[in-house]
Structure 1
Amino acid sequence: MKQTVNISYVVFLSFVAAVGGFLFGYDTAVISGTIAQVASLFSLDSIQQGWFVGCALVGSIIGVMCAGVLSDSFGRKKTMILSAILFSVSGIGCAISGTFNELVFYRIIGGVGIGVVSIISPLYISEVSVPKYRGQLVSLYQLAVTVGFLGAYLVNYWLLQYSIDGAEKLTHPLMLKVFHTEAWRGMLGMESVPALIFFFIIFFIPESPRWLILKKKESSAKHILQRIYGNENDAQTELAATRAASHTETKSEWKFILKPGIMKAVLIGVGIAILGQFMGVNAVLYYGPTIFESSGLSNGDSLFYQVLVGAVNMLTTVLAMLIIDKVGRKKLVYYGVSGMILSLILIAFYFTQGEALGIPNLFLLICFLFYIFCCAVSICAVIWVLLSEMYPIKVRGLAMSIAGFSLWVGTYLIGQLTPWMLENLTPAGTFILFAVMCVPYMLIIWKLVPETTGKSLEEIEKMWDK
């Protein structure tokens, strides 16, 4: 019998959870416009600049280590509330920090929020979704991340222009400091606005029905499922399927993860999570303005180029969201990663031969935009969908934390090492390295990852058991 779905209600739940993705994107990308200013103010060398970028990623690693345990123990909703509080404290703290160490401390707090929300938001969306729309709805989270990227780039660009022309008229000493003499404070501090909005709107959504079933709160779960499906019969069917999937004789979550099929899924998740970070996307998102400046652009022009990168990232994610449940997860990876390899090689070619051949900066911009297009339509859209749907309900939070931990370790290493690589491997060598790392990623997806499009979470769990 065909299920009915109250799609407007499911979209509302997914939208609220996806606001966490916006904060993820903003906190991750806002750093790109502040590096030069902070480095100049505090006289940072290349290693210290890497630490300024990477310190938030240390927080992210802490966040993902805690997220699974917190969400499995206290629920998805309460854990999202915690992340909203962390983002709010981080934004305000960064704006008023007096020393570099204080700034690093508040960036780490924001990083913990990133780590928590990167696991819990897509997990929540996956658990309130239905198979037909799950890819699109979880991709809504990734879309929110890209909107956060673009929002950060626009705020950085606008505040830089405002600090040069207009902010000098401010009379309050703190406002003058935040928006004129040290505009990076305003860039980081603006995060507190969407963070507070996220905090309040979370109270308008229910707990994940699958988590409630796992905790034997079936009457509450059934009420939520009835709102999702619009009738009692479908709600009862889903409740029974989830109850059966969550029932197991293995008491320990760690022992369950060590089952051969489940361990294989966890290791694959770890592999694609960490490899994805060494394919260059976060290097571009964090250090885009720095890379553009190395090609001869001014600071203002490089920030404008980064706005274009953010716009392409967001618009391409909309495309990915529309086609992911039609084309399939694996095909998107094949097409997108092939394009990433080509664009990375062309970027390396520009940095080796561009000046000698008189190739204009526009060529570099086009290559970067094509790279972002290929990345956004494939690995960026697919990774969180796969991680949110490929694990059994009993250990979904814990398994996602393990995969998320590896992802953020990779992100931290890229954030920390990119300035060193650009300086010692040269930009060309750095982008060739990124291109090489695309190959094992595509092989893993091809040989080891099953196609999950159109399957229920319970059906996917049975695939790994086999």
Structure 2
Amino acid sequence: MTNSNSKTVFFVCFMAALAGLLFGIDIGVIAQAKDFIKQDLGVSDNVISWVVGSMMGGATAGALVSGKLTRQLGRKYSLVISATCFVLGALGCALAWNGTVLIIARIIVGISIGVASFTAPLYLSEVAPKSIRGTMITMYQLLITIGILTSFVVNTLIRNNTFTGAEGQIAANFLIPDISLSWRAMLGVTLIPSLIFLAGVFFLPKSPRWLISKGKTEEAKKILLKIRASEDEAASEAQEIINTVSSHTGRSGFAMFREKLNFRKTVYLGITLQLLQQLCGINIIMYFGPELIKAAGYTSEFAANVGTIAIGLTNVLATFIAIAYIDKWGRKPILIAGYSIMAVAMTGVAAFMHFNYSMAAIISVLVFIIAFAFSAGPVVWVLCSEIQPLEGRDFGITCSTGANWLSNMAIAATFLPLLSLLGAAATMLLYAVCSVLAIFLIIMYVPETKGVSLEHLEKNLMNGVKLRDLGK
């Protein structure tokens, strides 16, 4: 690939992946802001629960409408809609004058996250060269982890410089003069990267695969010439896409789902992968990190903050493992290794919590984060964007992304009741069992897609090849 073309590919992929940074910041922000919001706005615990959960509800809605958006408007303009919602949501959160307005703003933020979590991996899978497709999609996950870490660090600084020292006591003469400005700064900080994202997406090319599916072949060829290593590679890929599109009937993804058993298999596989990603317990660590650290025996505010930042930093650094090796080792070996380590680590968390070995429990949590960050975190999104055939891709990824957000909501809602009913150790053990189940399902059904074109995967699928053999 020429230097000019490689720079173009990197810019395109980075700007699309920037949605992940906003996604990560918004995931990480609310845990440390919610007590400030409660005191400043004078709202009840019930309203705070709605503030926390409304973003996930909005994300589910955004994910479910994204299939129609990307099919009708294209991948690029769906990202424009997502970026616009990010800007509006960040402004709404920063300016909210009561709980209702804040909930509405958080729903708007959630919609933007849902659209981005659907569209960004899809767009990256269709634009990136097949030799680095996994790496480019993983960049999206890396920026999510950087966003989470950024929110943890910034929010900890704000909290530590707003609290007088004793938990629950808030001063008005520290770094930020009052709690109202503190939480508004936490929630409104995404406005800056949101504006950068909104400006940048207008410079992104449209997806060549979407253009060809809409009969705009010449425009697609011009774009491929800019983002491929040579004219021969661009022409060959264009012809492969044209051949695939020529066999399509123009039916909707849902119609294809009803008619084609082979397509139903990849839809079910995508849903299963996303459910397994959530059932391992990762977002419990992210959403309830401070509570888990305290449950492990570290009860001070300082320890919880340091532990939360350590979780975020570990998450970022371990994602670089996936970036370095996903297109070398392949998707399937990385997933199996990751879930194996997660099962052992979460079992360790359960055992060490039960026997009150606090430091060992925290170390096990960090090992779990490392395993997730190089495997299930990025690789599930990569696979879900690769395995669906072009004609039903929007529908298939709608189903898998929707499953991710619905299970995310369900697990977040059931964690504290499970903790109360079973205790911390038994709850962690339950998540470990889910990782063991994942290993068997991956071995039986997940294909290796490393270095394989999307069109070759689709051809094998439509010819009735077994799911685990689609990449052969």
User: What TM-score do you get using the length of structure 1 for normalisation?
Assistant: 0.92
| Within-5 A mapping of 1:324-343 | 324-343=326-345
**Alignment partners' CA distance in 2, 1:86 and 1:220:** 28
Q: Is the 8 A contact 2:130 2:452 kept in 1?
A: yes
> How far did residue 267 of structure 1 move?
0.4
Describe the shift of the 1:181–1:235 C-alpha distance in structure 2 as closer, same or farther (beyond 3 A): closer
Q: Which has the higher mean CA deviation after the structures are superposed, 238-247 or 29-38?
A: 29-38
User: What's the counterpart of residue 448 of structure 1?
Assistant: 445
The SS at the match of 1:451 is coil
Q: Is the 8 A contact 1:256 1:262 kept in 2?
A: yes
**Alignment partners' CA distance in 1, 2:207 and 2:381:** 18
> How far did residue 350 of structure 1 move?
2.4
> How far did residue 365 of structure 1 move?
2.1
**Alignment partners' CA distance in 2, 1:155 and 1:3:** 39
The SS at the match of 1:10 is helix
Describe the shift of the 1:181–1:50 C-alpha distance in structure 2 as closer, same or farther (beyond 3 A): closer
| Within-5 A mapping of 1:79-228 | 79-164=78-163, 168=172, 176-177=177-178, 180-181=179-180, 183-228=182-227
**Alignment partners' CA distance in 2, 1:201 and 1:300:** 38
Q: Which has the higher mean CA deviation after the structures are superposed, 297-306 or 265-274?
A: 297-306
2:268 pairs with 1:267: yes
**Alignment partners' CA distance in 1, 2:283 and 2:114:** 15
Q: Is the 8 A contact 2:62 2:113 kept in 1?
A: yes
**Alignment partners' CA distance in 2, 1:100 and 1:329:** 43
> How far did residue 453 of structure 1 move?
1.0
The SS at the match of 1:132 is helix
2:465 pairs with 1:463: no
Q: Is the 8 A contact 1:32 1:285 kept in 2?
A: no
User: What's the counterpart of residue 72 of structure 1?
Assistant: 71
| Cα shift readout 1:363-409 (whole Å, capped 9, x = no counterpart) | 23211111100111110021110011111112212211111011110
User: What's the counterpart of residue 349 of structure 1?
Assistant: 351
User: What's the counterpart of residue 411 of structure 1?
Assistant: 408
**Alignment partners' CA distance in 2, 1:170 and 1:338:** 46
**Alignment partners' CA distance in 2, 1:18 and 1:372:** 21
User: What's the counterpart of residue 289 of structure 1?
Assistant: 290
> How far did residue 48 of structure 1 move?
5.7
Aligned AA for 1:342?
V
Aligned AA for 2:285?
V
Q: Is the 8 A contact 2:250 2:391 kept in 1?
A: no
> How far did residue 342 of structure 1 move?
1.1
2:300 pairs with 1:301: no
Aligned AA for 1:132?
S
Describe the shift of the 1:162–1:197 C-alpha distance in structure 2 as closer, same or farther (beyond 3 A): farther
**Alignment partners' CA distance in 1, 2:159 and 2:235:** 55
The SS at the match of 1:320 is helix
Describe the shift of the 1:423–1:186 C-alpha distance in structure 2 as closer, same or farther (beyond 3 A): farther
Runs of 4+ in 1 over 6 A off after TM superposition: 2-5
The SS at the match of 2:122 is helix
| Cα shift readout 1:121-143 (whole Å, capped 9, x = no counterpart) | 11111111111111111111111
Aligned Cα root-mean-square deviation (Å): 2.3
User: What's the counterpart of residue 277 of structure 1?
Assistant: 278
> How far did residue 251 of structure 1 move?
2.9
Aligned AA for 1:440?
L
**Alignment partners' CA distance in 1, 2:151 and 2:10:** 25
Aligned AA for 2:251?
S
Q: Is the 8 A contact 1:50 1:416 kept in 2?
A: no
**Alignment partners' CA distance in 2, 1:312 and 1:243:** 43
| Cα shift readout 1:178-231 (whole Å, capped 9, x = no counterpart) | xx4562222111111111111011122211111111111111111110111254
Aligned AA for 1:463?
N
Q: Is the 8 A contact 1:3 1:234 kept in 2?
A: no
Aligned AA for 2:208?
P
Aligned AA for 2:277?
G
Describe the shift of the 1:273–1:168 C-alpha distance in structure 2 as closer, same or farther (beyond 3 A): same
Q: Is the 8 A contact 2:129 2:228 kept in 1?
A: no
| Cα shift readout 1:246-303 (whole Å, capped 9, x = no counterpart) | 2235332222233111110000111111222111001111111122233332223212
Describe the shift of the 1:68–1:308 C-alpha distance in structure 2 as closer, same or farther (beyond 3 A): same
**Alignment partners' CA distance in 2, 1:125 and 1:328:** 18
User: What's the counterpart of residue 467 of structure 2?
Assistant: none
Higher relative contact order (CA 8 A, sep 6+): 1
Aligned AA for 2:420?
E
> How far did residue 170 of structure 1 move?
8.3
User: What's the counterpart of residue 31 of structure 2?
Assistant: 32
**Alignment partners' CA distance in 2, 1:464 and 1:353:** 49
Q: Which has the higher mean CA deviation after the structures are superposed, 183-192 or 118-127?
A: 183-192
The SS at the match of 1:34 is helix
2:432 pairs with 1:435: yes
Aligned AA for 2:127?
V
**Alignment partners' CA distance in 1, 2:129 and 2:31:** 37
**Which 5+ residue runs of structure 1 have no aligned equivalent?**
none
User: What's the counterpart of residue 58 of structure 2?
Assistant: 59
**Alignment partners' CA distance in 2, 1:278 and 1:43:** 32
> How far did residue 235 of structure 1 move?
1.8
Aligned AA for 1:297?
T
User: What's the counterpart of residue 468 of structure 2?
Assistant: none
| Within-5 A mapping of 1:232-243 | 232-243=231-242
> How far did residue 244 of structure 1 move?
1.3
> How far did residue 346 of structure 1 move?
1.4
User: What TM-score do you get using the length of structure 2 for normalisation?
Assistant: 0.91
**Alignment partners' CA distance in 2, 1:34 and 1:297:** 19
User: What's the counterpart of residue 421 of structure 2?
Assistant: 424
User: What's the counterpart of residue 323 of structure 1?
Assistant: 325
Q: Is the 8 A contact 1:212 1:218 kept in 2?
A: yes
Q: Is the 8 A contact 1:121 1:141 kept in 2?
A: yes
Aligned AA for 1:347?
V
Q: Is the 8 A contact 2:37 2:180 kept in 1?
A: no
Percent of aligned positions that are identical: 32
